[in-house]
Amino acid sequence: MFRPVRGMKDLYGVSVNKYNFIIEQAKHVGAKYGYNIISTPLVEYTEVFQRSIGDETDVVSKEMYTFSDKGDESITLRPEGTAGIMRAIVSEGMTQSLPLKFMYYGEMFRYDRPQKGRYRQFHQLGFEHVGDKSPYTDALLIAMASEILGAIGVFDFKVLVNTLGDEETRKDYTKGLVKYLSRQEANLSDDSRRRLEKNPLRVLDSKDERDREICAMAPLISDYLSKESGQYFESVCELLAKCGVNYEIDNFLVRGLDYYSETAFEFKPTDFGVKDSFGGGGRYDHLLSVFGGPDVSGIGFAFGIERLMIMLDNSKFTSTPAKIAVIPVSEGETEAAFELVQLLYNCDIPAEFLHLGNVSKKMKVANRLECSIALILGEEELKNGTVTVKFMNAESGALKEKVVNRNGIINFLRHNI
């Protein structure tokens, strides 16, 4: 028996209904805020991710699906959506049209340790607003994200926000952090010791218990903020309050990718004990220029769709559209039933053509498919130009069966489904 590759899942039934619902709601809200859909390839040249996300991040150093293709090019299955979109803005010549607003959704790949809510192939839904920098933009983007959550019925969440400051802030902070971490070097994990040398900020993302204890006492970015970054963050927080966003400042929030600067945020369930976020994002000041575009700022976020799906109630996503089974009693009526099902499709009525087996088998299939009505065509019906309409699962006392004129069947169904 073949199974899906470890950490990868088949989506069907309730999960697909949930997935489609989330995307539909996000498209609706996103369109209102002026976002256009973009779909970039699932694979990019490896450098696209290496250069933007950063060599020392967990995503690049441990989690990427990187292969040599048959032409010996190093390509990578995308671990996130932002880098590919920046690449596309430049390579498709869209930089003349900045600012740009894009929504995207689809598969992402990270070679992570699979567990509940953490997969190797998962789906993200994300937004990028590229080409301007203002606290209004940040607040509106986070407000839109909160509105999307409301639209899909997720209300018990909070938005954790922090600022990573501008370049000047991060330079000063990095110095302070290195000074502190160097004193603790002997107690750090091997990974963190390497990072201390190459990219000290990434030590703060470490999942190692001892590293985390050390980082809990480390100096905070907020103590090093430049005046401009401090004011910027204050404005963002004020505007978030004006938008009615339920936010909380978290000075330890650093996000796991190198390209973030200034505003950073994550979405978490308010449910105590759930520590994993279901979405996050932030501002990136120089990302577009990494790909040869102009040095303009952008901001974006992504929700993990699987994590959103966990928060939706299964029972609301089981229903299939009210379906009609078209059932010929025997061979002699199959052709007439075939014509009838075509008529239903032409009139946009969802239907199933059940022509295999005897009548009782066909009725069983209709039940399994949760059809609400069966249209039965037997010898008698054919002779009289009628159809027998059988209401499946009709409660006692309700109309269970009715013979309807074939000419009037569409009208009848329109009034009864």
Rounded least distance, CB 109 to ligand AMP, Å: 9
Rounded least distance, CB 401 to ligand AMP, Å: 50
DSSP-derived pairing of the beta strands 43-45 and 121-130? unpaired
Is residue 211 a contact point for ligand AMP (CB under 6 A)?
Answer: no
**Residue with tokens 């939706």, as numbered in its chain:** 312
Rounded least distance, CB 204 to ligand AMP, Å: 14
Rounded least distance, CB 73 to ligand AMP, Å: 25
Is residue 291 a contact point for ligand AMP (CB under 6 A)?
Answer: no
Is residue 112 a contact point for ligand AMP (CB under 6 A)?
Answer: yes
- Where does this chain touch ligand AMP (CB under 6 A) — which range of 119-127, 144-152, 188-196, 372-380? 119-127
- Residue 309 or 382 having the CB closest to ligand AMP: 309
Q: Which of 19, 53, 78, 80 forms a contact with ligand AMP (CB under 6 A)?
A: 80
Contact call for residues 130 and 298 (beta carbons, < 8 A): yes
- Residue 279 or 293 having the CB closest to ligand AMP: 279
Q: Which of 131, 165, 279, 300 forms a contact with ligand AMP (CB under 6 A)?
A: 279
DSSP-derived pairing of the beta strands 261-269 and 298-304? unpaired
Per DSSP, the residues of 202-271 read GGGG---HHHHHHHHTS--GGGG--HHHHHHHHHHHHHHHHTT--EEE-TT---S-TT-EEEEEEEEESS
Is residue 307 a contact point for ligand AMP (CB under 6 A)?
Answer: yes
- Residue 115 or 396 having the CB closest to ligand AMP: 115
Question: Which residues 6+ apart lie within 8 Å of 239 measured at CB?
Answer: 135, 136, 138, 139
Q: Which amino acid is at 235?
A: S
- Where does this chain touch ligand AMP (CB under 6 A) — which range of 16-24, 39-47, 89-97, 110-118? 110-118
Is residue 176 a contact point for ligand AMP (CB under 6 A)?
Answer: no
Question: Which residues 6+ apart lie within 8 Å of 170 measured at CB?
Answer: 164, 201, 221, 261
Buried/exposed 359-378: b ≥16 CB within 10 Å, e otherwise: eeebbeebeeeebbbbbbbb
Contact call for residues 75 and 43 (beta carbons, < 8 A): yes
Rounded least distance, CB 55 to ligand AMP, Å: 16
User: 195-198: long-range contacts (C-beta < 8 A, 24 or more apart)?
Assistant: 195/56, 198/55, 198/56
What's the CA gap between 191 and 202, in Å, rounded?
10
Is residue 256 a contact point for ligand AMP (CB under 6 A)?
Answer: yes
Query: Binders of ligand AMP: how many residues, by CB under 6 A?
Result: 17
Rounded least distance, CB 266 to ligand AMP, Å: 7
Is residue 280 a contact point for ligand AMP (CB under 6 A)?
Answer: yes
- Residue 254 or 377 having the CB closest to ligand AMP: 254
Rounded least distance, CB 14 to ligand AMP, Å: 18
Q: Give the tokens for residue 281.
A: 């994002």
Give the DSSP H/E element, type plus range, for residue 402: strand 401-405
First and final C-alpha spacing in the chain: 42
Q: Which of 119, 127, 232, 265 forms a contact with ligand AMP (CB under 6 A)?
A: 119
Is residue 349 a contact point for ligand AMP (CB under 6 A)?
Answer: no
Is residue 124 a contact point for ligand AMP (CB under 6 A)?
Answer: yes
Is residue 302 a contact point for ligand AMP (CB under 6 A)?
Answer: yes
Rounded least distance, CB 292 to ligand AMP, Å: 23
Contact call for residues 253 and 264 (beta carbons, < 8 A): yes
Give the DSSP H/E element, type plus range, for residue 180: helix 167-183
Is residue 278 a contact point for ligand AMP (CB under 6 A)?
Answer: yes
Buried/exposed 173-201: b ≥16 CB within 10 Å, e otherwise: beebbeeebeebeeebbebbeebbeebbb
Kindly report the CA angle at 248 between 134 and 117, in degrees rounded to 5?
100
Contact call for residues 233 and 164 (beta carbons, < 8 A): no
- Residue 73 or 107 having the CB closest to ligand AMP: 107
Is residue 230 a contact point for ligand AMP (CB under 6 A)?
Answer: no
Rounded least distance, CB 387 to ligand AMP, Å: 49
Rounded least distance, CB 101 to ligand AMP, Å: 19
Is residue 306 a contact point for ligand AMP (CB under 6 A)?
Answer: yes
Summarize as ranges the residues that interact with ligand AMP (CB under 6 A).
80, 110, 112, 117-119, 122, 124, 256, 277-280, 302, 304, 306-307
